[in-house]
Structure 1
Amino acid sequence: MAGGWSKDGDVQQQIDDSVRDELERARRSLPRGESAHHCHECDEPIPEARRRAVPGVRLCLACQAERDRRQGPAGGVNRRGSKDSQLR
């Protein structure tokens, strides 16, 4: 049951839109093209299995893990807040 100005199902639609937005952001950040043979950060060879598994990869596993750790999780902020949720 919705309250305020929101209609039934608006909350779920807001959640679905937020998940869809995050998936699109993640897809845009995936590497594309031909994989590098050596890491762009440490110049170590990138294993063939990684190059086949991740097309367009530019970093070795260690450097990619470090980059992911530094970036941390994405915002977690719902940017599609309904009018009702903005007024609370």
Structure 2
Amino acid sequence: MADIADFANDLVQERIDQALAARLLAAKPALTAHSFLFCETCDVPIPEARRLAQPGCTRCVECLAIAELQGARHAR
């Protein structure tokens, strides 16, 4: 049967979890990577819409698709 110490431990753990979640949420914008203006593979400009939709992108859609296919092929 649970006693007062168990309830206190649960409450402390809940507060710790909330504090960690708040800290991670506050740090998230600082961790957002900037997108490249040009594809790292083919040097073609990456469209602004893609850079805004996928923060931190480093490749154009075509080069990303090729890289994913190559990665899938090597995973087999």
TM-score interval, smaller chain: 0.5 to 0.7
Higher Cα Rg, which structure: 2
Distance in 2 of aligned mates of 1:47 and 1:68: 20
- 1:62 corresponds to: 62
- Runs in 1 of length 4+ with deviation above 6 angstroms? none
Any gaps of 5 or more consecutive residues in structure 2? 1-31
**Pairs aligned (count):** 45
- What is the CA–CA distance in structure 2 between the aligned matches of 1:65 and 1:53, rounded to whole Å? 16
- Whichever structure has more helix as a proportion of its residues is 2
- Higher RCO by CA contacts (8 Å cutoff, separation 6 or greater): 1
- State the TM-score, normalizing by the size of structure 1: 0.46
Instruction: Let me know the Cα RMSD of the aligned residues.
Output: 2.1
* Percent of residue pairs bearing the same amino acid type: 40
Deviation, 1:70, is 0.5
Q: TM-score if structure 2 supplies the norm length?
A: 0.53
Structure 1 unaligned spans of 5+: 1-31, 76-88
